[in-house]
Structure 1
Amino acid sequence: MTQKKRLRCAIYTRKSTEEGLDQAFNSLDAQREACAAYILSQKNEGWALLPALYDDGGFSGGSLERPALTRLLADIREGRVDVVVVYKVDRLTRSLNDFARIVDVFDKTGASFVSVTQQFNTTTSMGRLTLNVLLSFAQFEREVIGERIRDKIAQSKAKGMWMGGPVPLGYDIADRKLMPNAAEAKTVKNIFRRYLDLPSVMTLMEELRVDGIVTKLQTMRDGSVRGGQLFVRGPLYHLLSNPIYIGKIRHHSQLYDGQHEPIIDQALWDAVQDKLADAIGSRRERGNSHHTSLLTGMIRDHVDRPMSPSHATKQKRRYRYYVSSVASAVDGTPMKAPALRLAAAEIEQATIYATATLLADQQAILSLPQVDALTLRQRMNASEVMASTLAKEGKARVRQHLIALGLLVIVYPDRIDASISRRLLIAQLDGEAPDAIDDGFRVAIAISTRPERRGHNLRLVVGSRDQRQARIDPELVALLLKAEAARQKLFMGNDPSQSSDRAAERIARLAFLAPDIVAAILDGQQPKSLTPRRLMKQAAIPLDWKSQRKALGF
């Protein structure tokens, strides 16, 4: 009798919250017991349970950043695990994209995946189809839960309830409610009053630094300590503009009467807000004059040369660009890579749009390192506010936000890579000073590009053809109409003099353009380089449609 091959089985368990994990027999134990019983039932098939425990308690299924899952995938890659057993498929992940990445690891190592309550085999196409269907429902359930949480937060804030997050300086938490802290409330009042007596927030920040006044010190559920740091500009602006201090609760752009006591009276609050508004207006005017180029200092080319702002003037019109700086290699020899140039307005607008899109993407915010539910809610709200700010604020204010996020744009001859610092993003969302140590993790933002041919040269164009705004050129459309009329006259052959008219022949050739070229001109989607003058100068437009597209920049 042939002996069955020994299959090493690992059990993976997960629970989204930490509630109940301190019990003697919790949800993770129940999952593991069911999986162990199933493995035992397959003993005749050669299944054997590995002693290692892969338990993720208090981790969401919407992200792969889970310590036990990371260890499990590492063991699979090293060939230590043959079968992964879970209680239900959504214990492994609730995301279709993440599931595809996990299955890819399984395929490369020959490992398989089994759900105790939903028996599948990922090595078959039917098993994958069934899993994808179930994961679609799991992801749908997760999104519905998210919508319910957001609705509950909105309704609770409308009633004036504080919904968690970092506790503001001046308050403590008692029975999930904000209660004034007498000593800290005195500090907050002093900060507001001193701001009115000083010329700027920066001056106030320096005075607070000298006096040793720090942010609120908080002990988190996991025992870690946050806060207790000197005020920097961001948290100080947040404190001075936080309506919590006048007894209000903010939800997006709405303010509701809170259930907590105010610390600051309305007159002092109004005076501070008026001064802040005046300061922002003056800075915006100065910023727009000094920083006409939004990405200065944040954009480089593929050989690590800074791309500096430049401009050219043609017919009294000013065109702005970012151009690779003239630089030499370490040994002093000139770099052989040609300088790159990008239209400034296009790359700036595309960068703002891509960053705002990332901030508005709830999946991107959920993929950040896991935190407790209250902090997660605050991050979701803060990301929406930041996305709206980027879309509406002036250039100087947007530039400050991009710098605070650690934006980096790298331009290649055929693409653009852009990213922001995950560490700085978390600090902005949490309203705290960033960690001193940079972990090196960055979050990619998508800026679409495409190459466009201009004569014999290729240039990088920001934005896909679908995103480009229609630019219907009446002269080009009229030229097509003339071409069709000339073609008909030439084919009719009734006018001998017309047949010898070279101008008419040249125009008539335009009637034989490829249908997609004609459609693009009529829709205003032709390349910027295709002008009526250029089209007329193409005296010998080839009849081959492929050659036409190449000659005209399509």
Structure 2
Amino acid sequence: MSRGRAPEPQRREKIRCAIYTRKSTEEGLDQEFNSLDAQREACAAYIMSQRHEGWTLVPDYYDDGGFTGGNMDRPGLKQLLADVEAGKVDVIVVYKVDRLTRALSDFAKIVDVLDAAGASFVSITQSFNTTTSMGRLTLNVLLSFAQFEREVISERVRDKVAASKRKGMWMGGNCPLGYDIQDRKLVVNEAEAETVRYMMRRYLELGSVYDLAAELRAKGVTSKVHRSEEGKIWGGKPIVPGALYHILGNELYRGVVVHKGEAHPGEHEAIIDDKLWTAVQDKLASNRIERRHQANANEVSLLAGMIRDGEGRRMTPSHASRGDVRYRYYNSVNEGEGPHPRPIRIAARDIEKAIVESLERLIGDRAQLTLLYPQHGSEGYETANLLRSAALLHRNIPTIAPSDQRALLLELSLQVIVHADRIEAKVGYAALGERLGVEQFDADREVVELSIPTLMVRRGTDVKLTIQFDAQASSSRRDPKLVELIVKAHQARRMLGLDGKPPSLPENLGYRERSHIARLARLSFLAPDIVRAVMEGTQPASLQSKRLYRMSDLPMNWDSQKTMLGFS
């Protein structure tokens, strides 16, 4: 009788584990072995202890140093959840559950992502089973205490800031023009202080922030130069109108510290007296009232000299009156002899409103600005300054006087072309970047296109071009994952050196990471029409980020791309 072979041990399925680490502050992160390293080491040891269950550690690092657990706006967490959705991770391993999140609402969102992908998470220092009702109750109790702890800490910080400001203490941030910092206190820089006084006096004389900005630029006056402890230098740029509004309304210059609308005597010395301050604030308030009521709006043609029709003819302002109502238009002007195509006429109010609103949408779109002007500073100062300048300009555009709006459009080198079936509008790429204080540009790019949605309306035998103002509809359809994928594609392109600059890939990248970056970089060669549609939210419903990322046969020909992705 032959002896049977012993059954082979059953091979366990491979379980891919990703370690997530987080620390709320940046303190100590520059140490050789910091808190993130300690968390990762403990989690890696736990995964090693589960090798008999098929657990294996993925090589990717998901670290968020200096990010709060009170929200999900963390790059490491976003990348981790994206990899979970892409099926690259089966288990998230954390040192404690509050490293993952301190908010119950955010935890519910994370659990939804894990459930949809068939993944789970493990806290190595807290034992509970989320498949049972008691386990879920235990987890919710722990998260409730974590959220309570975060809120108590926030309240303590807010109370400390409020108490300090009531004593007149300056609580940090970028040092304002006119002061230096000594022993964490503001000390008057007399040369810069005189510049601030000059700005205040000239604003009263000129009455226009944009005229003052132009004068300061001509004189070579720049913003304050800042230097970090690491030696990073930023600032020293021409002062833009948005920054001027901030300077003219900054109560620090009259020797006070403001907290929640209440002014407290400051420890620092005033630069300007109360008489000058009051006069400047009265002038600013007076101009705001004029802007709100659009004083002298009928006398300003915003686009004069910047608008042409599809035949290349200048379009000049004109008007017609019916009773007391004045209607403004832009009309094509026939020049020279011979037959001319039919002139185009368009309502001035409609096209001016469309241009201004489209410019607002562009400047208010943080994702698109980051894609247009990718800055490479490791500390992120450049990008932060770009978005801060854009936010100031976006807030001021609707309220500035029509004459100042026209000055802004001229500064941005606006070009408008009115065709019989569409409107094209462009601003200078470099001009917009300089206006926003950008330090690095794409040398090959000349213009930025503005989106002006138009519609052909047939009325009997006549055809009229109308402008659609439903801008929020397209914005609500924008897919943030698609936008983020395209942004990452351009980042990968720069890392591989495909933009003409030296590659910046880390030396310790493995094969999988390099393959991922190469796959992303392919998407930076999408047709401009496709990128524009994604940014505007008008792409086909079938175009999803997962589908686009996984396409291995995406053609380089733009027309073929549009056909494959459902644009035609």
In structure 2, the residue matched to 1:104 is 113
Give the deviation of 1:127 after TM superposition.
Answer: 9.1
Aligned residue among 148, 161, 170 for 1:141: 148
Aligned residue among 176, 179, 186 for 1:171: 179
CA distance in 1, matches of 2:405, 2:260: 19
CA distance in 2, matches of 1:37, 1:72: 20
In structure 2, the residue matched to 1:46 is 54
Give the deviation of 1:240 after TM superposition.
Answer: 1.8
User: Do structure 1's residue 115 and structure 2's residue 122 form an aligned pair?
Assistant: yes
In structure 1, the residue matched to 2:424 is none
Q: 1:152 to 1:271 in 2, by over 3 A?
A: same
In structure 2, the residue matched to 1:511 is none
In structure 2, the residue matched to 1:29 is 37
User: Do structure 1's residue 272 and structure 2's residue 244 form an aligned pair?
Assistant: no
CA distance in 2, matches of 1:256, 1:247: 9
Give the deviation of 1:387 after TM superposition.
Answer: 13
Figure out how many residues of one structure are paired with residues of the other and give that number: 428
Give the deviation of 1:126 after TM superposition.
Answer: 4.7
Amino acid across the alignment from 1:63 = M
Q: 1:74 to 1:433 in 2, by over 3 A?
A: same
Give the deviation of 1:101 after TM superposition.
Answer: 5.3
In structure 1, the residue matched to 2:213 is 205
CA distance in 2, matches of 1:289, 1:160: 47
Q: Is the 8 A contact 2:180 2:188 kept in 1?
A: yes
Give the deviation of 1:434 after TM superposition.
Answer: 6.7
Q: Is the 8 A contact 2:19 2:44 kept in 1?
A: yes
> Counterparts in 2 of 1:470-489, with a 5 A limit?
none
In structure 2, the residue matched to 1:190 is 198
In structure 2, the residue matched to 1:294 is none
Aligned residue among 65, 72, 91 for 1:63: 72
Helix, strand or coil for the counterpart of 2:187?
A: strand
Aligned residue among 254, 264, 278 for 2:262: 254
Helix, strand or coil for the counterpart of 2:295?
A: helix
Q: Is the 8 A contact 1:114 1:121 kept in 2?
A: no
Amino acid across the alignment from 2:172 = G
User: Do structure 1's residue 233 and structure 2's residue 210 form an aligned pair?
Assistant: no
Helix, strand or coil for the counterpart of 1:255?
A: strand
User: Do structure 1's residue 286 and structure 2's residue 295 form an aligned pair?
Assistant: yes
CA distance in 2, matches of 1:26, 1:270: 51
Q: Give unpaired runs (5+ residues) of structure 1.
A: 292-315, 318-343, 360-368, 402-426, 439-461, 463-554
Deviation sequence 1:399-431 (CA, Å, 0-9, x none) = 999xxxxxxxxxxxxxxxxxxxxxxxxx99xxx
In structure 2, the residue matched to 1:7 is 15
CA distance in 2, matches of 1:255, 1:194: 26
Give the deviation of 1:286 after TM superposition.
Answer: 0.7
Q: Is the 8 A contact 1:90 1:138 kept in 2?
A: no
Helix, strand or coil for the counterpart of 1:286?
A: coil
User: Do structure 1's residue 181 and structure 2's residue 193 form an aligned pair?
Assistant: no
Give the deviation of 1:181 after TM superposition.
Answer: 1.6
In structure 1, the residue matched to 2:488 is none
Amino acid across the alignment from 1:104 = V
Give the deviation of 1:6 after TM superposition.
Answer: 2.3
Q: Is the 8 A contact 2:213 2:244 kept in 1?
A: yes
> Counterparts in 2 of 1:356-435, with a 5 A limit?
433=437
Helix, strand or coil for the counterpart of 2:221?
A: coil
CA distance in 2, matches of 1:90, 1:49: 21
Q: 1:102 to 1:269 in 2, by over 3 A?
A: same
Amino acid across the alignment from 1:160 = G
Amino acid across the alignment from 1:247 = G
CA distance in 1, matches of 2:152, 2:230: 25
Q: Is the 8 A contact 2:207 2:283 kept in 1?
A: no
User: Do structure 1's residue 90 and structure 2's residue 98 form an aligned pair?
Assistant: yes
Q: Is the 8 A contact 2:242 2:393 kept in 1?
A: no
Q: Is the 8 A contact 1:84 1:113 kept in 2?
A: yes
Amino acid across the alignment from 1:18 = E
In the superposition, the TM-score normalised over structure 2's length comes to 0.50
CA distance in 1, matches of 2:99, 2:150: 16
CA distance in 2, matches of 1:84, 1:210: 57
Amino acid across the alignment from 1:115 = V
Give the deviation of 1:233 after TM superposition.
Answer: 1.5
Q: 1:84 to 1:153 in 2, by over 3 A?
A: same
Give the deviation of 1:43 after TM superposition.
Answer: 2.2
CA distance in 2, matches of 1:387, 1:135: 42
Give the deviation of 1:189 after TM superposition.
Answer: 2.3
CA distance in 2, matches of 1:396, 1:155: 44
Q: Is the 8 A contact 1:85 1:114 kept in 2?
A: yes
CA distance in 1, matches of 2:266, 2:438: 29
Q: 1:158 to 1:394 in 2, by over 3 A?
A: farther
Q: 1:130 to 1:222 in 2, by over 3 A?
A: farther
CA distance in 2, matches of 1:49, 1:168: 48
In structure 2, the residue matched to 1:448 is none
CA distance in 1, matches of 2:159, 2:189: 30
Deviation sequence 1:305-354 (CA, Å, 0-9, x none) = xxxxxxxxxxx99xxxxxxxxxxxxxxxxxxxxxxxxxx9xxx9xxx9xx
CA distance in 2, matches of 1:259, 1:274: 26
Deviation sequence 1:165-185 (CA, Å, 0-9, x none) = 222101122222211123212
Helix, strand or coil for the counterpart of 1:262?
A: coil
In structure 1, the residue matched to 2:504 is none
CA distance in 2, matches of 1:21, 1:15: 9
Helix, strand or coil for the counterpart of 1:235?
A: helix
CA distance in 2, matches of 1:194, 1:162: 28
Q: Is the 8 A contact 1:64 1:70 kept in 2?
A: yes
* Rg (Cα) greater in structure: 1
Give the deviation of 1:395 after TM superposition.
Answer: 12
In structure 2, the residue matched to 1:478 is none
In structure 1, the residue matched to 2:224 is 216
Deviation sequence 1:59-86 (CA, Å, 0-9, x none) = 23313441x3344345445544332211
Helix, strand or coil for the counterpart of 1:9?
A: strand
Give the deviation of 1:187 after TM superposition.
Answer: 1.9
CA distance in 1, matches of 2:165, 2:403: 32
Give the deviation of 1:260 after TM superposition.
Answer: 0.7
Aligned residue among 137, 160, 177 for 2:168: 160
Deviation sequence 1:188-235 (CA, Å, 0-9, x none) = 223223334445333322221111001112234676543222122121
Q: 1:94 to 1:399 in 2, by over 3 A?
A: farther
Q: Is the 8 A contact 1:83 1:111 kept in 2?
A: no
Q: Is the 8 A contact 2:129 2:136 kept in 1?
A: no
Amino acid across the alignment from 1:34 = A
Q: 1:138 to 1:6 in 2, by over 3 A?
A: same
Q: Is the 8 A contact 1:93 1:99 kept in 2?
A: no
Q: What is the aligned-residue identity percentage?
A: 44
Amino acid across the alignment from 1:137 = S
Deviation sequence 1:363-385 (CA, Å, 0-9, x none) = xxxxxx9999xx99xx99xx9x9
Amino acid across the alignment from 2:25 = T
Helix, strand or coil for the counterpart of 1:114?
A: strand
Q: 1:101 to 1:115 in 2, by over 3 A?
A: closer
Give the deviation of 1:163 after TM superposition.
Answer: 1.9
